[in-house]
Structure 1
């Protein structure tokens, strides 16, 4: 169970990194060469779903593992765990945020756009919290390959976020400015 929990956590983190990157690309409103914007949206949704499945597998297998000593309360309420409560609590916070994002994504058409966006923006908090959880609580966090993986993921997300913010701030054509103004009023 421990090995499945470890691997599913690492796979989940990798998929959530890809999902965050695809989400940033989706909001940028620019298609990739050879892939229209709706294609990016579909890939983003599918990768997010797959990441959530691996996250559930991660939590479920660690619930059944005697070493992790997780209880159902530990999965929902952060910082109460018996094994490294701070680092485990960060995982709980990240898990709870993912649950909120999944629920609002499923109810997207029934929620005000601002509510959906606000909850969806919590991914910008969830992702670094999940990375910190994996560094502090992960068995592989002392391995060079994991350090390289975590540093590469952090660099990619930081670069994409910076690009996204810069591309919004420095729109120059009237058409781009009008599109930006329209998006912010939704």
Structure 2
């Protein structure tokens, strides 16, 4: 199937649109969670309203993520099995980059399940699992950049840049309004805010933006599969 035929596939459009919207909504969820936590919470808006908005954004993220996964599996071009939706790095098509997306989806699913049983799980355990949502965001970002066939489009690159800028700004806001204590946590947050943009920019420049990326991304199947 040629790239022209692929570009005309309704399932391809639905998968890319669902994935893009899921990334935007996940970014908004992460930004809201970071910027409104601790002493950085805005005083003009009640915590109930912030929590409700945060929950609704999370549910919308999972809804569009489901659309993204289902349409990707149904798309006949990539020949994905349903197991790929829950088993990372099991795909034959760009396995590393699809695996990152599956890992991010699994982390978000863990957050959803533990939120449903939060009273039985306990606040401390729930918070520990809830932090996985922050880890899912960079995985989703690298998944989109590595597996996406439209990564080189200027609009998509600007979208990735906006997502990165929003999260970094939220981390900066949180650090600027943080009180004393938890120095280790603040150092980790600051290091992550610097490392992720630098790593993603270097990855885009050396990977998806270079000619022959499709072949190089597919070649990871040999490495992951032990040379098979």
Q: Bin the TM-score by the shorter chain.
A: 0.7 to 0.9
2:167 maps to which residue? 157
Q: For this pair of structures, how many residues does the alignment match?
A: 171
Does the 8 Å contact 2:39/2:177 carry over to 1? no
Normalising to structure 1: TM-score of the pair? Answer: 0.85
Structure 1 residue 104 and structure 2 residue 132: aligned?
no
Alignment correspondent of 1:26: 36
Distance 2:41 2:48 in 1: 8
Report if the CA contact (8 A) 2:22-2:62 is conserved: yes
What are the residue-to-residue correspondences of 1:66-145 with 2, within 5 Å?
66-145=76-155
Residue 59 of structure 2 corresponds to residue 49 of structure 1: yes
- The CA distance in 2 between the partners of 1:167 and 1:31, in whole Å, is 9
Mapped to 1, the partners of 2:146 and 2:117 lie a distance apart of 33
Query: Are 2:167 and 1:168 aligned?
Result: no
Report the RMSD for the aligned CA atoms in angstroms: 1.7
Instruction: State whether residues 90 and 129 of structure 1, in contact with CA within 8 Å, keep that contact through their aligned partners in structure 2.
Output: yes
- Normalised by the length of structure 2, the TM-score is 0.70
Contact 1:25–1:40 under 8 Å retained in 2: no
* Matched-pair contact (CA < 8 Å) for 1:78–1:88: yes
* Aligned-pair CA distance for 1:125: 1.0
| Preserved contact between residue 94 and residue 147 of structure 2 (Cα < 8 Å) | yes
CA distance in 2, matches of 1:45, 1:160: 18
Structure 2 unpaired stretches of 5+: 1-10, 182-228
- Give me the whole-angstrom Cα distance separating, in 2, the residues matched to 1:2 and 1:130: 18
Shift of 1:143: 0.8
What's the counterpart of residue 71 of structure 2? 61
